[in-house]
Structure 1
Amino acid sequence: MNKLLMMKAFTSVVTEGSFHKAADRMNLSPQLISKYVSQLESDLKTRLLTRTTRKINLTEAGHIYLQRCQQVLLDIEEMENSLTDLQNQVTGTLNISAPMSFGIHHLSAPIAAFQSRYPSVKVQLFLTDQKVDLLEANVDIALRIGHLKNSSLIGRKIAPIRMVTCASPQYLAEYGEPKTAEDLTQHRYLRYSYSEGRELTESWGEHSPFSEQNTQLVSNNGDILINAAIRHQGIAIQPTFLTYNAVARGELVVLEQFPLQMMGLYAVYPNRQFLASKIRHFIDFISGYYGELPYWDKPCDRHPSYTATVER
């Protein structure tokens, strides 16, 4: 039998002065209240109450137990209230994992805006392009780029991620602009190591135009590859959140003839029934921050090729 419920029944009987009034207060039957008190006395092996037809009195043991009961019930109530307050308050430390380049270029502003709205939240941002185990790494939220797959994690899409094939004008002038996938086999490729060719396979099937033979540079960081492309080292496949400034400056040209499958930026978190308020509020905040057309994909009038790509 539930010891906590027995304790509540006992204190209610003493407070209300009768089993019937205690039953009304707890929305239970008088018989059940009496059963709870009797079971409590049986468990304690001592009598707590003396009952007459008109009055209920506490025994000496009952006086001592009542004080302890009231303190225990008060402590439980205060503990539950504090947890409810914690659930409702946006406070504490928020541990976030995010892709390296995206975090450097596009997370400082939203995190600053979030903390301006919720100044009691401390953010610990861990940047890595590798997928971390959220529970093992004590991460509350992970921002991930790709396609959300079935897992034990819950995810919400934050923004669309467009991939583009690009190269510098000087590189294209020297080596020629490829028109077909077959042409790409003759060009130098700047490969992002963590993708392992997924963006190519999803767009061209198993017949990828790039291979180890024409890979010029491999890096686990997109900024390195963008800078190499700007320096005329080859063709890169990178997200528009990294290429948009170089395209706007005319340092890179988007090869429209090689469209790639759309991906997404997702906020993922462990499948928990009750989310802490800091997590829930950050997910709601970041979900509306970038919009359906993020600022890095806004049309650029000076570069029609880029505009055509992002508007598709």
Structure 2
Amino acid sequence: MTSFKKSLSMIKPISHFLAVVSNQSVTHAGEALGIAPSRISESLKYLEEIWNVQLFRREGRQMKLTNAGQRAYERYHHLVYTLLDTVSEDIDPDAIPSVLSITTPVDIGTHLMPSVISSFNKQYPNVEVKLFASDQVMDMSEADIDLAIRVGKLRGKATTEEEVIMKTRPFLAASPEIIQNIREGLYPEGAPFIRLLRLPESKEMKLKSTDATLKLKTVAASDNATAAQQMAYDGLGAALFTGLPTKPYLEKGRLEKIDHVVMPDIYIFASWPGRRMTQGAKALLELFKLELSEQQKLYG
């Protein structure tokens, strides 16, 4: 491997190393970067082998830098951020790329983005918009994503920036039969619940209007919000809806609201790699905000 190629191969492992320092945990670093913790561990092992040092020592659940790790951090974190600043300054932020890649959850991609992309194409007919609608969180750098619209808790990644668009009002919904059974106390072990795998497992939820606590028993789980909601439509159990103003989720006689729930704040937010959003991403994000505002008037 040439010296130049070797230097390039070091960039990603070093960024993983810096993320572990920032998050004090391989698991949290993986969550912050949107990649598997095993890949973070592989990067650390790679660096320790080529540098012939131990970078971290464990103290309980936290990762603490060794003296060698501290020296590596002091040397490389300045270089990495200087490189990012230099690249950002050299690229014209007002230039509209010929291709704009974005990712959104499935429901936003299905119900909001077609109108947004249509409006964007009228303003920028020479720009191709590639939409990746998925409930899986993508690695933005690896997938070459310019803009992500997310729903959930703010991630606070070291390698991306975030902007809150709006706060949602999550609620539980189920079929009328399940709601009636809940009211009659027919679920002593907990109401049947369809859990989203991306959310923390919960055996109970506090209802907002009554201040009561509803016991839950997971009967199914999915990493796809649309699939979980469809199970609720089919009467399998109650499901958590994040309250996106994308369409009227509820349908009388089939799926009805139990109550809004008390839980950590969930936001619709934008995320983009680096420190500056491209002009194309800015334009599309503004159109998305306008569309979201219109939908809020209709369904919020």
TM tier relative to shorter chain: 0.5 to 0.7
Higher strand share: 2
SS in 2 for 1:209: strand
Aligned twin of 1:147 = 153
Work out the CA distance in 2 between the residues paired with 1:184 and 1:121: 56
What secondary structure sits across from 2:291 in the alignment?
coil
Aligned residues between the structures: 206
Letter in 2 for 1:128: S
SS at 2:178's partner residue?
helix
| Distance (whole Å) between structure 1 residues aligned to residue 299 and residue 272 of structure 2 | 27
Partner of 2:79: none
Q: Which residue matches 2:164?
A: 157
Deviations 1:56-111 (A, max 9, x none): xxxxxxxxxxxxxxxxxxxxxxxxxxx98x75454510011111232122222112
Distance 1:237 1:184, change over 3 A: farther
Provide the TM-score with structure 2 as the length reference: 0.58
Partner of 1:138: 144
The equivalent residue for 1:281 is: 283
2:242 aligned partner? 239
State the alpha-carbon separation in 1 of the partners of residues 94 and 121 from structure 2: 16
Residue in 2 that maps onto 1:31: none
Equivalence for 1:96: 102
In structure 1, stretches of 5+ residues that fail to align are 1-82, 299-312
Contact 2:103–2:148 (CA<8 Å) still a contact in 1?
yes
Residues 1:121 and 2:127 aligned together: yes
State the identity %: 20
Map of 2:275 onto structure 1: 272
**Structure of higher CA gyration radius:** 1
Q: How far did 1:165 drift? A: 0.7
2:193 corresponding residue in structure 1? 189
- The change in CA–CA distance for 1:263 and 1:257 in structure 2 (over 3 A counts) is closer
Amino acid at match of 1:196: P
1:1-312 paired onto structure 2 within 5 Å:
87-152=93-158, 153-173=160-180, 175-177=181-183, 185-197=189-201, 209-210=215-216, 214-241=217-244, 245-256=248-259, 258-273=261-276, 275-291=277-293, 294-295=296-297, 297-298=299-300
Question: 1:188 Cα deviation (Å)?
Answer: 0.8
User: Structure 1: how far apart are the matches of 2:203 and 2:242?
Assistant: 11
Name which of structure 1's ranges 231-240 and 182-191 shifts more when overlaid on structure 2: 182-191
Cα RMSD, aligned residues only: 3.5
Q: Does the 8 Å contact 1:101/1:221 carry over to 2?
A: no
Amino acid in the other structure paired with 1:164: F
Paired letter, 1:107: M
Conserved? CA contact 1:92–1:121, under 8 Å: yes
User: Structure 2: which 5+ runs fail to align?
Assistant: 1-89
- 1:159–1:290: 8 Å Cα contact kept in structure 2? no
Q: Once the 2 structures are TM-superposed, how far is the Cα of residue 266 of structure 1 from its aligned partner?
A: 0.9
